[in-house]
A and B are shown apart, each in its own frame.
Chain A
Amino acid sequence: MSEKIKHFPGEELSGRDIREGKIPCIKHRPNVKYLWSAGIAMSRFVEGMKEGKIIGSKCVKCKRIMVPPRAFCEECFRPVDEYAPVKDTGTINTYSVSYVAGDASRIKEPILVAVIDIDGASKGMGILHLLGEISDWKQIKFGMKVKAVWKPSEEREGSITDIKYFKPFEEV
């Protein structure tokens, strides 16, 4: 704001007054529902989920194995050559402990979330997922090895949530 300006527009209201209807307002709830097509690459991925596999896609030109899989390599700008499973283990790239739900309301039992670099994919190819079987979140470490814990096959529905979470695991 310039010191030459002496008038500052904007009439502040109280949020409580608005919510309690003390100020004339219009309320509206949009009633729209969506049905998103998973598309070419993601359909392969969710099929793989049903089979207990994480599917990646490979570009022979740059030799990257990509997770999440895509139908085209965005760097070489050509179709990918192959879809193939990668491992269901990986390394914690970064993590967080969430006490907030999607609507910004607070939750008591925190959700443990992480970006997990997946083994068998190119370096740095991570996915977002949850962590489980961890009694104290302070035990989580950067670089820790984790493994997918799958739902029983009859409960899988072709969703990212067919993996319940990733749990710490010792490599043998």
Chain B
Amino acid sequence: MSTEKIKDARRMVHWPGHMETDYIYTLGIAGEKFFTEMKNSGRIFAAKCKRCGFIYLPPRIYCERCFEKLTEWINVGTKGEVFTYTVAYVDVDSSKLKEPTIYAYIKFDGAHGGLIHKLGEVKHEDVQIGMPVEAVFKPLAERKANINDIKYFKPV
């Protein structure tokens, strides 16, 4: 036998530790433009590939299908529809949430892809796939150029 069954609990030694690092991520070229527009003017932009017609949301600086540089930005508005959704009862650390949170994948007209965000002002029993929703932005002063500048999407 090459393995040893440990009968004496004192021989089960463990060592606790953690990885103490902070991260500061740049938004990148596409991300900075996307979130700056969202913050300053409450607009949601996608990027269009002139070569294959694909419209990326979130936007990128390149087409992943043909590697064309993307230079055409398209305002897709603030309204989309629920493509799929889930109701979360547990938090990221598996602890129980006081109130369930609804997360949805929201598709926008005129773009391939969409945004993952929360749904608000709606009971989860009432959510339906295909339901039209609209972004609710935080007040301008509270926006920080990140995805939470949108508070949630609400039914139209």
Contact = CB atoms under 8 A, between A and B. Distances in A.
Query: Direct contact between A and B in the complex (CB less than 8 angstroms)?
Result: yes
Contacts of B1: 79
B68 to A, nearest CB: 15
Interface in B15-67: 15-19, 21-27, 29, 32, 35-36, 39
Q: How large is the interface on B (under 10, 10 to 19, 20 to 34, 35 or more residues)?
A: 20 to 34
B102 interface: no
Contacts of B123: none
Contacts of B2: 71-72, 78-79
Counting from the closest, the 5 A-B pairs by CB-CB distance are A38-B13, A24-B145, A79-B2, A43-B13, A26-B25
A19 B27 CA distance: 14
B12 interface: yes
A128 interface: no
A28 B26 contact: no
Given A24-B36, A43-B11, 8 more contacts: A11-B29, A24-B39, A26-B27, A27-B23, A35-B16, A40-B6, A46-B13, A47-B11
B3 interface: yes
Nearest to B27: A24
Given A43-B12, A71-B2, A158-B13, A32 B26 contact: no
Contact of A37 (B14, B25, B145, B146): B14
B4 interface: yes
A28 B145 contact: no
Interface string A34-75: 111110101110110000000000000000000000011000
A46 B73 CA distance: 61
Nearest to A159: B15
Contacts, number: 80
Please classify the interface of chain B as helix (H, G, I), strand (E, B), loop, or mixed, using the class held by over half of its residues: mixed
For B6, B14, B22, B27, the residue with the greatest tally of chain A CB atoms inside 10 Å of its CB is B14
Interface of B: 1-4, 6, 10-19, 21-27, 29, 32, 35-36, 39, 93, 144-146
B146 to A, nearest CB: 6
B26 A25 contact: yes
B27 A32 contact: no
A4 interface: no
B87 to A, nearest CB: 24
Contacts of B145: 24
A16 interface: no
